[in-house]
Structure 1
Amino acid sequence: MFVPSPQQAAFIQEARTGTSSIVLIAVAGAGKTTTILQAVKEMRGNTIILAYNKKIAEEIKGKLKRDGVDWKKAEASTTHAIGLRNYRKTFPTVRVRAEKVGDMCAALSDNGTIGPELVPHTSVICHLVSLAKANAVGIIGDIDDTSIWEDIVDHFDLFDEEPLQKKGDDIIEMAIRLLKKSNAEAEVIDFDDMIYLPLLYRIRFFQYDNVMMDEAQDANIVRKLLADALLKEGGRFFGIGDPRQAIYGFTGADNESMENLKDYFQCKEMPLTVTYRCPKAVVKMAQNWVSHIQAHPSAPEGTVSLETFEQMLQSRDRLNGDAAILCRSTRPLVTAAFALIREKVPCRIEGRDIGEQMKKLVTRWKSISTIPELEDKLEDWLEAETARWVAKKKMAKVQEAEDKVETIKVIMDACREDKRDLITDVVAYIDNIFADNVTGILTLSTIHRSKGREWQRVFWLDRFNTCPSRYATQDWEKIQEANLQYVAATRSMGELIDLFPPLPKQKAVNDNQQQPKEKAA
């Protein structure tokens, strides 16, 4: 039976009897989903709960059904799904094409509209168009107002090297033309368009008495405007989230989202500062990043400790579905995964789409079939990518390329150990270690992908070398790096363990020879 805390009870009471809109600032593990579902059952009118992704939306739907809440009283959806659903009422034959803008950009290059001097910058042009949609360019403000585009460029540091600066005006002009062309093709939409085009075309939305936005700290401008479009005149907006869990700024999410939502909807602010997930020792560590998070008085003490990878393996009964290994980067996770597999510890890395990106890279050269050939190609590719992004001062892109190649190298080494030498073997290994929604066995995950999940035991892999990212240079990027560390720490329900990466195999053997007692243990 749900017994609310004083803070939860205050929110539920305000939701039931009040009239103002509310932003609910909830620390990690504060029971926000339980709280809002309890409030929904007691609120006046009908409610839409806007979830950040499909998985969360499905979980909320299941809980509403379990609690006997009729869908006419309350429903849950992602912002993209609800946008598309309403858009189809006006454009019933609409088709989704993920690469809509990229295909249009390529066509403009082929017919000469995009001149040869801009062809090297087409990826920047497409990225700028995507960010313009996230920032509602054309919905608020004039598409032709270059100052709006310049603000986006400055915020995301898109033109941070001389060639781009020299071509900056031309790139913005071409992005404006590309956005207009994309907007004119109303029957074909991409992921960004699912929210953007219904607002641009001012379609008639089905509206609700109450609009609840979960994970509101990750909202961008178009998500805010969509929430407004879904709200009846005189309706109430509820923004639920934690500003210190904002980690998706690179996608166009607004780093000041909660404050902006509060101002836009004239919200009353209410807190949930007590975590029901984390034990006291973990909360104490999390206070390094968020000083106001509190442990519940009944919370267990928990533990915060440090282990080598080899020490972790000595107690392998802990390495099960109740545990996760988290890391800022992918490469250390893959190294750890193969070390675990060699020790016959079942595990998977969260994120099948990461695996798909790896497979796309290893299979891009159709003329080769062996790992040695692939190794040479990857070295050349990394050198070219590094030169390309360093010239543009895009160090995050350099990190991404390095991480991708280093990850594939780990997989190639594992293939060699098993006396496998073909690229098809690399692909098979990738398919075997990457998965979605990993449960029941030890989960390995980047911190970004761990958001919204929890485990009894969390091993934080290679924290001292990966957090914060040395490539975070702008103020908002540095803030989000701190947020990432807070997210990682607060995934733990019991134990939080700083984990050193596995030693190189030869070194591990030598160390064990020097420490026969530990080896015997």
Structure 2
Amino acid sequence: MTTTDFPRSGSVNADSVLDGLDPEQRQVATTLDGPVCVLAGAGTGKTRAITHRIAYGVHSGAYVPNRVLAVTFTARAAGEMRTRLRDLGVAGVQARTFHAAALRQLQFFWPQSIGGTLPNLVEHKAPLIADACNRLRLQADRARIRDLSAEVEWTKVMLVDPDDYVKVATATGRGEPGGLDLPTVARVVRTYEDVKTDRAVIDFEDVLLLTAGILDERPDVAATVREQYRHFVVDEYQDVSPLQQRLLDLWLGERQDVCVVGDASQTIYSFAGATPEHLLDFPQRHPGSKVVRLVRDYRSTPEVVGLANSVLSLATGLHARARLELIAQRPSGPPPTFTAYDDDVAEAAGVAARIAAEVRAGRSAKDIAVLFRTNGQSQALESALADAGVGYVVRGGERFFSRKEVRDAIVLLRGQARSALPGHDLGVETRAVLSSAGWAEKAPSAGGATRERWESLQALVLLADELAEKRPGSGLADLVDELVERSQAQHAPTVDGVTLASFHAAKGLEWDVVFLVGVSEGLLPISFAETPEDVEEERRLLYVGITRAREGIHLSWASARTPGGRASRKPSRFLDPVRPQAAPAGRRAGTAPGTQKAQGPMTCRVCGQPLSAAVDRKLRRHADCPASYDEAVFEKLRGWRSATAKADGVPAYVVFTDATLVAICEAMPTTTAALSRITGVGPAKLEKYGDDVLGVLAS
């Protein structure tokens, strides 16, 4: 069983919950009492470990579901945790973000503690900051308002009183936010609070502050909350701010029933008040706590893990003492590649071309991501992918459930669900309903809005298939309920397009192939990272980017910003210990040290040039070099794959990608040993499909 598999809910009991867990994950799951600190590296199955811990506690009778509060940092993570718990046969556990949990308590206790109606919650600070600047006769353009909004948020999460702001900001090197001196910023902070009072509104940080204040000042309210929630789990604990830690302490009181999970090497939100000190000091603050380290990486190949370990090996400061040396559990894969381009436009075009080759070879676009340091780098990549005919999704753009086609589709599904008869195939019914909304089996050839609309509807179709597989017997009403829950949690289904995202936005996600672009001085580390602490956070950003990849990781940089511009950029200092001394320009690249590849770079058996792309190495030739296989054999394999995929209820590429089928045709193996040497035919697939494939080839 892999780290993403779990028992079906119909057969779940306490013992089955532990099936498939490795020794360390099992230790987490079975340590139900007292303080527990889980140091979990990237890809080590931390979400699996803590959800199985909760499920084991419930099924063994140690936990009452509605007395467990699991706290996450994103609504998406909370939604995923609820889904996993439901599939483990556990309902009623509260999995929420800090803000959602606090807001729920604040709404309930405000009338009896403060009286009256809770003030309205504003989503954006910008209008209030602009009003505060107006009152102080300060000019306020968009950039200044953005910077001052961030500074106001920082003062709140760091529990800094406006009267102490200048002293604390000076000591911590806050510079001049918005280009203003610190005393002026302090006046803006105070005036911002006056503006909120005049408008009778509160902001997101106030939700935490007010909840903490009520719990601190009203022992009766605190006792009620502590009676309700007996066991706490906190995910991504390295990102906890002082304000969030204060609230957690008040929730706990004198009790020790808390399990925290985190990785100091993935602390990338220091600008928002996140600090790993709470994680690193947990054993000292909770004497007798159990510390478990998860270091078995199930996500990435040894090559990706080796690169990540190497980049982090030179880390310094507070985080260095908590660095986890990951141990890859997957079979070997392609080596990392390092490519230099002349300029940003050439880099975007080169990356788009490699992605297009991957997609043509059978790789699903949704399994590929391009990550960058700043959102401004996205534009060139969007244009290049559009020119290459590759669909893409910009993470952080319009929310999935806010799209008109998605809202209209949910209305149609809800209407049909009222008259749907039980026992019908959910996937077939969903396709029939969405056909009236413009969905078709085949993706449109057009790009732009037409393609994006189809991809949104296709995501709903695939979600229906996933729901039918995980919970047999589900109908349209169950699909609508799932969509409503996901909409509330902003847990969008996967859209079939290449993901474009910043390093920060990619946190917590993963893809088969990841391209990291702009890995150069000035971008990574960013030019305004001046202190050693700032530079180390940039190193951790790169580490987070690398560890998003399951199989292929490609790093690149451009010497100039624009075509014909001065070639003043240099590769990032973080690559010095891992990249070849002279990465070639353009298409090909070399192998990083530590990838456990004793032989030289693999070369194309047609043209003799080095192979770097994962799909090229799988074929043992460049995708654009002439093939040498029997088309009839290839078509027979495709026919077998189609029938097998249909019987298994999975997409065809899950059985084998086109690239793997081509590699099989070109190698024409006659034994399982020979078949196993083909990239893409791992042990599980060899056991499941090996005899069938050899039978097709023999015929």
CA contact (8 A) 1:29 1:276 kept: yes
Q: CA deviation at 1:56?
A: 0.6
Correspondence for 2:334:
303
Q: CA deviation at 1:174?
A: 4.8
Is 1:326 the counterpart of 2:339? The answer is no
| 1:460 Cα deviation from its structure 2 partner | 1.8
The one-character-per-residue Cα deviations of 1:272-297 (angstroms, maximum 9, x if unpaired) are: 1111111111111011234533224x
Counterpart residue identity of residue 293, structure 1: E
3-state SS of 2:303 partner: helix
Question: What residue is the counterpart of 2:304 in the other structure?
Answer: 282
Does residue 5 of the first structure (1) align with residue 22 of the second (2)? yes
**Is 1:443 paired with 2:443?**
no
Over 3 Å counting, the alpha-carbon distance change for 1:455 and 1:170 in structure 2 is closer
- Asked if 1:35 corresponds to 2:88, the answer is no
Q: Report the counterpart of residue 123 of structure 2 in structure 1.
A: 98
Q: Indicate the residue corresponding to 1:493 in structure 2.
A: 550
What residue identity is the alignment partner of 1:462?
G
Quick one: structure 1 residues 230 and 180, their matched pair in 2 at CA, closer, same or farther if it must change by over 3 Å?
A: farther
TM-score by length of 1: 0.71
Summarize deviations over 1:105-139 as a string: whole Å, max 9, x none: 544555x5x2x3687977665543321211124xx
CA distance in 2: counterparts of 1:149 and 1:48, whole angstroms: 37
Q: Give the aligned partner of residue 338 of structure 1.
A: 383
1:131 and 1:152 in contact (8 A); partners too: no
Conserved in 2, the CA contact under 8 Å of 1:282 and 1:304? yes
Deviations 1:419-438 (A, max 9, x none): xxxxxxx9x89x99x99765
Q: How has the CA–CA distance of structure 1 residues 342 and 169 changed in structure 2, closer, same or farther, with 3 Å as cutoff? A: closer
**Matches of 2:310 and 2:89, distance apart in 1:** 41
Look up the equivalent residue of 2:183 and give its one-letter code.
Answer: D
Residues 456, 133 of structure 1: alpha-carbon distance in 2 compared, 3 angstrom cutoff: same
What secondary structure sits across from 1:225 in the alignment? Answer: helix
Relative to structure 1, is the Cα distance of residues 273 and 108 closer, same or farther in structure 2, using a 3 angstrom cutoff? closer
1:85 aligns with 2:104: yes
Partners of 1:97 and 1:33 lie apart in 2 by 31
Aligned counterparts of 1:106 and 1:462: Cα–Cα separation in 2: 34
Deviation at 1:69, TM superposition (A): 1.2
Mapping of 1:297-446 within 5 angstroms?
Answer: 298-306=329-337, 308-309=350-351, 310-315=353-358, 316-317=360-361, 318=363, 320-352=365-397, 439-446=495-502
**1:77 maps to amino acid:** R
How far apart, in 1, do the equivalents of 2:391 and 2:559 lie?
A: 17
* Structure 2 residue 228 is the aligned partner of structure 1 residue 199: no
Matching residue's letter, 2:383: F
Q: Closer, same or farther in 2 for the Cα pair 1:256/1:304, shift >3 Å?
A: farther
Asked whether the 8 Å contact 2:370–2:500 carries over to 1, the reply is yes
2-structure distance, mates of 1:89, 1:498: 50
Amino acid across the alignment from 1:467: L
Q: Per the alignment, in what secondary structure is the counterpart of residue 458 of structure 1?
A: strand
More strand by share: 1
Query: Compared with structure 1, are the counterparts of its residues 127 and 284 closer, same or farther at alpha carbon in structure 2 (3 Å cutoff)?
Result: closer
For 2:153 and 2:208, the matched residues in 1 are separated by: 12
User: Alpha-carbon deviation of 1:190?
Assistant: 1.4
Q: Deviations over 1:300-352 (max 9, x none)?
A: 11222325434554444346222112222333332122112112112222111
Asked whether the equivalents of residues 132 and 149 of structure 1 are also in contact (C-alpha less than 8 Å), the reply is: no
Q: Report the Cα offset of residue 232 of structure 1.
A: 5.2
Aligned to 2:525: 468
Larger Rg: 2
Deviation, structure 1 residue 181 = 6.5
Instruction: Return 482-491 or 151-160, whichever deviates more.
Output: 151-160
Q: 2: distance between equivalents of 1:252 and 1:353?
A: 26
**1:62 CA drift (Å):** 1.0
Counterpart-to-counterpart distance in 2, 1:144 and 1:332: 36
Unaligned segments of structure 1, at least 5 residues: 138-142, 356-425
Is 1:226 equivalent to 2:247 in the alignment? yes
Shift of 1:23: 1.9
Q: Output one character per residue of 1:431-455: Cα deviation in whole Å (capped at 9) or x when no partner.
A: 99x9976532222221111111111
2:74 corresponds, among 45, 49, 53, to 53
Quote the Cα distance in structure 2 between the aligned partners of 1:124 and 1:506: 32
Calculate percent identity across the aligned residue pairs. 22
Whether 1:188 and 2:220 are equivalent positions in the alignment is no
Size of the alignment, in residue pairs? Answer: 423
Where 1:193 maps in the other structure, the secondary structure is helix
Farther-moved stretch of structure 1 (218-227 vs 250-259):
250-259
SS at match of 1:91: helix
Q: Distance in 2 between matches of 1:126 and 1:62?
A: 34
Query: For residue 224 of structure 1, what is the amino acid of its counterpart?
Result: Q
Q: Which amino acid aligns with 2:331?
A: P
What pairs up with 1:235-314 in 2 under 5 angstroms? Answer: 235-266=256-287, 267-291=289-313, 292-296=324-328, 298-306=329-337, 308-309=350-351, 310-314=353-357
Q: Report the Cα distance in structure 2 between the residues aligned to 1:504 and 1:157, rounded to whole angstroms.
A: 30
Q: Secondary structure at 1:25's aligned position in 2?
A: strand
Residue type matched to 2:367 in 1?
D
Q: Which has the higher contact order (CA 8 A, sep 6+)?
A: 1
Instruction: Give the partner amino acid of 1:8.
Output: Q
